[in-house]
Amino acid sequence: MIQDRWLKGTCLIWFGMSLGVGLSAMFRFQTASLDRATALDVGRTVFGAFNKVELATAVACLVLALLSMPERRTWLILLLPCLVLAPQTLWLIPSLDSRATVVLAGGNPSPSPVHALYMALEAFKLACLFVVGLGLPPAIASREPTTADDLSSEAHQATVAPPIETPDSEEKPNSESPLADP
């Protein structure tokens, strides 16, 4: 389906944009000619704007999913990055922005796990987008062996000979059979 390709493509574009913005933030603080205040100011501008782009991309992905009606597990994995946007938009980005404002004003904010939580959610979001973008493998119709016991049991069943017919189970010849007595 065309919508399915568009959904996968949009997820991969979202993945690429998120990865690019995240990597640029990391490299921004490693640039010797860029002071910390400027890097923070640029970062909060970029992340604030990019968050709006992500929200629009999430809506586009959901609309494309409604049009293509993917299987249930694809829906689940697609909904996860969309749900991650809620705490990022409503809590984490504003909190990080406030911390940057304190630093820009010359202050030193108290330690907080907010940045680490944002990065963890971002990594989770990237993984989900990558999986949906590449497409999930088809569902397995039959149960595959998963343990050594399952494998040895199946191997044993394959080596067991079929039942041997006994003389009691022989059929009486049919009169229409060429083997029947005249």
User: Would residue 178 count as lying in a domain?
Assistant: no
**Domain ranges, residue 72:** 2-134
pLDDT > 90: what percent of the chain? 62
Tell me, yes or no, whether 129 lies in a domain: yes
- Looking at residue 140, its amino acid is I
Confidence band, pLDDT 50/70/90 cuts, at residue 71 = confident
In a domain, 17, yes or no: yes
User: Residue 19: inside a domain, yes or no?
Assistant: yes
Task: Give the other-Cβ count within 10 Å of 128's Cβ.
Answer: 21
Average the pLDDT over each of 6-10, 71-75, 86-90, 176-180 and give the range with the smallest value.
176-180
Is residue 142, in this structure, part of any structural domain at all? Answer: no
* Averaged pLDDT score across all residues of the chain: 84
CB 179 within 8 A of CB 173: yes
94 within a domain of the structure (yes/no): yes
Whole-angstrom CA distances from 112 to 49, 115, 121 are: 23, 7, 16
Q: Using CA atoms, how far apart are residues 85 and 107, in angstroms rounded to an integer?
A: 29
* Higher pLDDT, residue 98 or 141: 98
pLDDT score recorded for residue 141: 44
pLDDT for res 101: 94
Q: Does a structural domain hold residue 156?
A: no
Domain count, the chain: 1
The answer to whether residue 49 sits within a structural domain is yes
pLDDT in tens, 90-140: 999 999 999 999 999 999 999 999 999 999 999 999 999 999 999 877 665
User: What does the pLDDT read at residue 173?
Assistant: 55
